[in-house]
Amino acid sequence: MIHYISGGQRSGKTNYAVQQALLLSEHPVYLATSRIWDDDHKARILLHKQSRDTRWENIEEEKDISKLQLANKTVVLDCVTLWLTNFFVDNNYDVDMALAEVKQEFDAFIQQDFNLIIISNEIGMGVHASTEGGRKFADLQGWMNQYIAQRADKATLLVSGLPLTLK
């Protein structure tokens, strides 16, 4: 089962995903995909880690998530935006290369039999990016969100902490 959860920054996506995971498993997996970019980001990551109790297995993997053996588990992937950023940066901001690589990695990852709850951001619903790189990334994010949502069994949009069922 794939449950895709999307929304804006601080919309309640992670809290909702965590609640859903705990309904499915007593010991879910939290798969964090972020690199530590600066001190502020490091502090955000620490807050996320501290919010999870001992029921959670925490795994950090920046890109190669398909190598993880997660069959028969419930997994929260947090988040597509940061995972996608790693591909975008590593491909020197080439949208086509990043999209091809991330789709291939995603397709390999979802071959496992597990409950997957995927968190992503709807950055295209926010302020229009003022830089070319920002606009390219917003496009990349939108295309990957569509790709994942099409493959998901369920899709939920979080707005102001409220879940809206899309699929």
**Spatial separation of the C-alpha atoms in residues 85 and 102, rounded to whole Å:** 10
User: Residue 122: what pLDDT?
Assistant: 92
Tell me: is residue 32 an annotated ligand-binding position. Answer: yes
Catalytic residue among 3, 41, 48, 128: 48
Q: Are 36 and 149 in contact (CB under 8 A)?
A: no
Total of domains in the chain: 1
Tell me: is residue 21 an annotated ligand-binding position. Answer: no
- pTM value is 0.92
Per-residue confidence of the chain (167 residues) as pLDDT tens digits?
999 999 988 889 999 999 999 999 999 999 999 887 788 877 877 777 777 788 999 999 999 999 999 999 999 999 999 999 999 999 999 999 999 999 999 999 999 999 999 999 998 777 777 788 889 999 999 999 999 999 999 999 999 999 999 99
Q: What is the CATH number of the domain that holds 135?
A: 3.40.50.300
What residue numbers bound the domain in which 9 lies?
A: 2-165
Q: Integer distance in angstroms from the first to the last C-alpha of the chain?
A: 13
Tell me: is residue 25 an annotated ligand-binding position. Answer: no
Burial degree of 9 (CB within 10 A; 0-12, 13-18, 19+): exposed
Please confirm, yes or no, whether 27 is among the known catalytic residues.
no
DSSP character for 35? -
Q: Are 73 and 29 in contact (CB under 8 A)?
A: yes
